[in-house]
Chains A and B, each alone.
Chain A
Amino acid sequence: MAKFTDHLGRPVVAVTGIGIVTSLGVGKKDNWDALTSGKSGIHPITRFPTDCLNTRISGTVDFLDSSSKGATALTYELAETAAREAIGEANLPSTDFGGPLFLAAPPVELDWADRFKLYTAGHDGPVTARVLEVARGLNSEDIFETTQFGTIADRLSDEFGATGMPITLSTACASGATAIQLGVEAIRRGEADRAISIGADGSVTAEALIRFSLLSALSTQNDFPEKASKPFSRDRDGFVIAEGAAALVLESLESALARGARVLGILRGCGERADDFHRTRSKPDGSPAIAAVRAALSDAGLSESQIGYVNAHGTSTPENDKMEHLSLSTVFGENIRNIPVSSNKSMIGHTLSAAGAVEAAFSLLTMREGIIPPTINYDNPDPAIELDVVPNVKRSADVSSVLSNSFGFGGQNACLVLTREPV
């Protein structure tokens, strides 16, 4: 009989449903096929003109109905699509999910298209007052709702019949992992038998891109888009901004087995730690990231030697990859050379608020399928980063435990430990 509690006497949290959308496609199958073939989803930007922009490539999701309808509409559709797949796989009712919902989503802002519309509809007076005057005569909540931070999760809760007030959160590029952590904690506290955690990000607009660009965070290797994201390579020069979503149905193992659900993996541990060094840079000694990895291992009740694969944050920025290497080699010591460490972002780019969830989903597939997706574009290794990055080609491997890292602006560090079996 399976043991329903973990090393600390808490309910074991199983994953019973997974949904994924990235620039590689909709659904687990298309994504996994592309990811394991080393296919890149990075392409020239067509959503908006790229005049004056230093970066003209991205991993936007251009094939959904809402792809050109603004960040709120697209983020919603991405989240909804991933959640529908996950809930379907978990074989739970699609309109009566019956558990809380945690959504990692980008901060919302009034879309420029709407700003122009409001301005044009006005007559005279100072710009700001003129826009406000038009706004109060709108008589419609359509634009308003795109500016409310709680709207997307509220609509998702309606759509799927989630219970209670949903939580929308942001821990920058660690958001997806935090959404999962919130779900795990709720189940461990016994508040719910199941929860749905979603990370979704459809916020690639010209302004979003320019903002990251002004911080020198983005790759400018525009000529060969599919080659631009090259984590751990010597000539990496920034991340590639991208979109996507993933959803996990989390369930206490006991409740999952009681209803005969198929267990896809175990969310075994979560760890986090904030960095107080700088708004965008990590503490040079890597101590917060190191502490987050150790906290996740300790929460999972596993030692360093029990991790079979690391799904890296691996953004392809000079700073992140160096720091991630430092923290991994500090925690795992010499043995890090023997642990495969690959970056999904080499193919899908950096899906920002969704990344932690998307990469947790791929980590689960890695264990289930026995295949480690490669780090592509690894043609020019950074000699300072000695890691087995699973270069360029997928690898068959019996992986029973994964560490998935997420680090973000604002000193956010969140790590997840996932295992194939409950143990």
Chain B
Amino acid sequence: MSSTDVLITGIGLVSSLGEGIDAHWQKLTADKIEPVIDAERFQPYVVHPLPAIDWGLQIPKRGDQRQMETWQRLGTYAAGLALDDAGLKTEEALCSTMDMVVAAGGGERDEAVDAAILEASASREDRAVLLNEKLTTELRPTLFLAQLSNLLAGNISIVHKVTGSSRTFMGEEGAGVAAIETAAARIRSGQASHVLVGGAFQTEHYDMLLGYELAGYLHRAPWKSVWQREGSEGGGVVSGSGGAFLVLESREHAEKRGRKAYAQLGAIYSGRARRGKEDLPAAISALAAKTGVPEGKPMLGISGVSGAHAATRAEKKAFDAMPDVALRGFSNLTGHLKEAQFPFAVALAALAVRNDQPYPAFDGQNEKPFEGQTSDVLATTIGYHQFEGMARILAAD
């Protein structure tokens, strides 16, 4: 034990399953759980939609809500849940010294304006002039701020008063991995004492689907388990809307304010396999070895598996060779949450550690039963296109 151990003292979760840790824990440990999906709105794609959210619970000012689109609201909301959970929501002094690392993509574009421009382009040769005409007159001036990647963090500062520092990492799942890895490294080295870290993804927007589909990554209806999409139409990814934020704290800082932790963050590593040149299953195995997956001891693994065919196949192959690890692919129930995928995996692992109980298989045909201890749980995310990350989540004391 060390005063600079990295403890997880607050968790904020939102997904199609609901909001908050209790809702997620209850649903994810139930005997039988059906995924919440919407197969109508974005045919032929399926998404895991957001639950109904009363934004005012975490974003009290209407004016603040209006300045954001759903993605920023969602992230700001999930961050608020985490701060609440850590008992920091009303601790202004602690929030003002709190560091923040947010994993973010971009916000929602104005679909109607884009569509109008594309439709008009059919009868115009001077498309560049058309763009100027339409964008200067039809864009809502403050929409830009709802799109900027770093403005999720900006809104968290405004709404929750977290102002020690504010950094936004970009780069799909890798951004979520790097955010937690960097936050942990800063705490361990004494560069930070408490950090808010996480991300959010709002998939219910055509442009967000396009981000996957430009390389044919999306699975097409009907919905199937994340481990069973090979051979179906499409690329295997079913995306979801959701967010995950964590409060990470040094042991010393948490103890000083008398907070009990869910778990502590053990080894954490990011990876950048040169996919296409390098053997991805081998790279995943090497990352697991580095993270310290023990041999001969059963271990629960919370997997952010995306469903993307090549990455999912590689993950399965790598873990088939680690028979002691029982993976739980939570994307089956939340969908792929992109930047929030790894924070979500770490959060679910921390819940299993705290409750001293594993999750049942989310896909009985493809996930092994697990009856071992959950005092040392693996969290993994193999990016659908690039970047990997793993961490071990351990009992806090």
The residue in chain A whose Cβ has the minimal distance to the Cβ of B277 is A158
Chain B residues with CB under 8 Å of A294's CB are none
Contact of B144 among A128, A147, A185, A211 (CB under 8 A): A211
Interface check B131, CB cutoff 8 A: yes
The residue in chain A whose Cβ has the minimal distance to the Cβ of B185 is A189
Contact of A168 among B115, B169, B385 (CB under 8 A): B169
Chain A residues with CB under 8 Å of B255's CB are none
Question: Is the beta-carbon distance between A169 and B168 smaller than 8 angstroms?
Answer: yes
For the complex, give the distance between the alpha carbons of A343 and B88 in Å: 40
Chain B residues with CB under 8 Å of A280's CB are 145
Chain A residues with CB under 8 Å of B272's CB are 154, 157, 164-166
Contact of A411 among B142, B154, B218 (CB under 8 A): B154
Contact of B148 among A52, A147, A172, A288 (CB under 8 A): A172
Interface check A108, CB cutoff 8 A: yes
Chain B residues with CB under 8 Å of A213's CB are 136
Contact with B along A132-148 (1 / 0, CB 8 A): 10011111010110011
Chain A residues with CB under 8 Å of B386's CB are 148, 150, 154
Interface check A282, CB cutoff 8 A: no
For the complex, give the distance between the alpha carbons of A91 and B124 in Å: 53
Interface size counted on chain A using CB atoms at 8 A: 78
Interface check B207, CB cutoff 8 A: yes
Q: Which of B350-397 contact A (CB under 8 A)?
A: 385-389
Segment touching B, from A29-37, A43-51, A330-338: A43-51
Question: Is the beta-carbon distance between B121 and A49 smaller than 8 angstroms?
Answer: no
Question: Is the beta-carbon distance between B132 and A50 smaller than 8 angstroms?
Answer: yes
Q: Which of A134-193 contact B (CB under 8 A)?
A: 135-139, 141, 143-144, 147-150, 153-154, 157-158, 164-172, 178, 182, 185-186, 188-189, 191
Chain A residues with CB under 8 Å of B209's CB are 132
State whether A409 and B151 are in contact (beta carbons under 8 Å apart), knowing that A128-B111, A131-B206, A185-B186 are contacts in the complex: yes
Question: Is the beta-carbon distance between B162 and A214 smaller than 8 angstroms?
Answer: no
Question: Is the beta-carbon distance between A149 and B177 smaller than 8 angstroms?
Answer: no
Segment touching B, from A73-81, A270-278, A373-381, A382-390: A270-278
Chain A residues with CB under 8 Å of B142's CB are 215, 279
Q: How distant is B249 from chain A, measured CB to nearest CB, in Å?
A: 18
Segment touching B, from A109-117, A259-267, A392-400: A109-117
Question: Is the beta-carbon distance between B150 and A277 smaller than 8 angstroms?
Answer: no
Contact with A along B28-55 (1 / 0, CB 8 A): 0000000000000001010000000000
Interface check B149, CB cutoff 8 A: yes
The residue in chain A whose Cβ has the minimal distance to the Cβ of B205 is A128
Contact of B385 among A110, A148, A170 (CB under 8 A): A148
Interface check B210, CB cutoff 8 A: yes
Interface check A412, CB cutoff 8 A: yes
Interface check A223, CB cutoff 8 A: no
State whether A132 and B145 are in contact (beta carbons under 8 Å apart), knowing that A165-B174, A272-B165 are contacts in the complex: no
State whether A115 and B114 are in contact (beta carbons under 8 Å apart), knowing that A273-B163, A274-B163 are contacts in the complex: yes
For the complex, give the distance between the alpha carbons of A213 and B105 in Å: 23
Hey, which bits of chain B sit against chain A, CB under 8 A? 43, 45, 67, 100, 104-106, 109, 111, 114-115, 118-119, 121-122, 126-129, 131-133, 135-137, 139, 141-145, 147-151, 153-155, 157-158, 161-172, 174-175, 177-178, 182, 185-186, 189, 191, 206-207, 209-211, 213-216, 218, 234, 270-272, 274, 385-389
A sample of 11 cross-chain residue pairs with beta-carbon separation below 8 angstroms, ordered by A number, consists of A53-B132, A138-B214, A144-B215, A150-B175, A211-B139, A214-B136, A409-B145, A409-B148, A410-B148, A410-B151, A410-B157
